[in-house]
Every structure is written in structure tokens, then in C-alpha cells.
Amino acid sequence: MESNVLLHYWWVGLLVLCIILYKFILRVFFGMVIVPENRIGLVTKKFVLFGANKELPDGRIIATKGEAGFQARALAPGLYWGMFPWQYGVDMTPFVVIPEGKIGLVLSNDGAELPTGNILARKIESDNFQDAEKFLNNGGQKGRQTAILTAGTYRINTYAFTIAVADMVHIKENMVGIVTMLDGKPIRVGQIAGEQIEGHNNFQDIDTFLANGGNRGLQPQVMLAGSYFINPWGIQIEEIPMTDVQIGYVGVVISYIGDDGKDLTGETFKHGNIVSKGQRGLPTFERTLQLRAIAYF
């Protein structure tokens, strides 16, 4: 009698088992994947059955056309079907978080090779590196990137990009920052510093600096007190005290950069060469200051 009752209600046990194992059943038979709100899904395609794009091109590690391997397109939070476990692996990973007062330095693990002489890959529009597929398809370069991440939360495919967190640059009061660029055009022969470049927002926009012909090496522009989003992979900052000219004294400026100047002092002046503004030597607008300075001695 009892065995007949159990046989009659066999479906109850099956229903309970399905309820317990429903996620496993939906995953195996329907390819269901649920990405939580605070995660992204990094996808690995195990193999390709049909189609021309079965293998990655030589030198590439991220798939953009459905090839087998790490996929450029990550899964945003949500529900997905057809991600069968025998073909796809999905790794749930946290968002990238850049705290206040920090910046994110980005290293691309895949992309085109850097041109000879460049140490940083130029910026490619990719929604702050959250669209790896767009980055790679638009010619994004492998290696350290000029672009940085400011404070915030980002859905970044960490198969494609490695993120390092660094401090913002802070120049204290009564100090100035001396800037040395690590990338750019070579400095002109005979010069010790690069050309004056505008529009780069205190070296926070390296791409504009480079696009406008900026030079690597020492820069004529200094940085004043403040906080800056500076990429230390491309820029070195040396903080030094400001020059203090005391009351009763004048400051005499001698320029070590610029074109060779023509002496404008005349034959009667014997204390050095005075040149036009922007040329190497003592600028003309400092001549009165120089004469006054000499009078003190």
C-alpha cells in the first residue's frame, strides 16, 4: 500500500528536485546566466563549431569576432540565455572602483603594436575602456595608455585591461612642479627643454600635448599649487620651492632655452648680453632690473 502511494506521488519528488536544482537545469539545458548587479561576466569561449573565425589571429589574445578564447564583450548585470556551460565559461568579477584622490592607470593586454619610439598608447574612444570590443576594433594599442580613469566605478573587462591605482599629484603651496615628459617628439638640437605647448590642461591631457607636437624631456611650463590628474607613466614631476625675491631686491632672469639671441646691449654695455624676449640669454625687459641689480653691488 505504501509503495503504491509513493509511486502515485513520484512527481512530487521530481518537482522538489527540480526546484532545488532549477538553476543547474536552466544553466545546462538552456544556457541561463544571471550576472548580479555588482558584477560583470567575463566570458571565455571554449571552442567554435562552425564559421570562418575559429581561431584568434596571431598575436591576439582577445576575441572580437566570436573566436575561441577570452571574449572582448563582457556581460553587464542581467539575465542571459544560450551561454551553455559546455561552450562558455563565465567568470563573475567585481566592478573596477577608483577611490577619491586616486587615478586608474590602464594597461591594455591586447591591441596593435606601439609605433617605434612611443612608450604610451594613444587614446581611443571606448567609453573609459568599458567597451573592449570598440577599443580593439578602432585600433587600440597594446601596452600602457595615455588615458587614465578618474574616481568612479567602471565595468571593465579585466581580461583585456589591467588597472593600477595611483595617487593624484599634489603641488603644495609655495612650491612649483618641474615637468619632464617621457614621451613625445625629440627636443630640438641645441635645446635643453621642449617647446611651449598649449591646450593640454596642465599636462592632464597627454594626447592633446602629443598631438600638438609636444617634446619629450624637460618642459618650459611649470605647475603651480593644486591637485592634478597626472599619468606617472608619461610624466615625472619634481616639486621645488618657489623663488622668493625679498623686498629691496630685484630678480634677474637668464633664459637657458629658446633660439640663440642677438645681443642688443650695444658696445658700451659690458655686463653681459641682452636679447629679445623668448630668446636664450637675458631678455630686454629685464635690462632695467639688471642695471638696478648691479647698482646694489
H helices of the chain, where? 2-8, 10-20, 22-30, 132-137, 206-211, 287-296
* pLDDT tens per residue, range 279-295: 555 554 444 444 333 33
Residue 135's pLDDT is 97
Q: Which of 138, 111, 106 is CA-nearest to residue 124?
A: 138
User: pTM of this prediction?
Assistant: 0.80
- Extract the C-alpha cell encoding 54: 575559429
* Type of residue found at 267: E
Q: In angstroms, how far is CA 8 from the centroid of its own chain?
A: 66
* Type of residue found at 272: G
> Beta-carbon neighbour count of residue 218 at 10 Å?
18
CA distance 281 to 275: 6
CA distance 12 to 142: 57
How is the chain split into domains, by residue range?
Answer: 19-92, 96-167, 169-241, 259-296
CA distance 52 to 65: 10
* Type of residue found at 220: P
* pLDDT tens per residue, range 218-267: 999 999 999 999 999 999 999 999 988 888 888 877 777 777 656 555 56
Q: Backbone dihedral region of 184: left (phi > 0), alpha (psi from -120 to 50 degrees) or beta? A: left
Q: Which of 201, 189, 82, 100 is CA-nearest to residue 149?
A: 100
pLDDT along the chain (297 residues), means of 10: 55 63 71 92 88 78 92 94 92 96 97 93 96 96 97 96 97 95 92 91 96 94 96 96 88 76 57 58 46 36
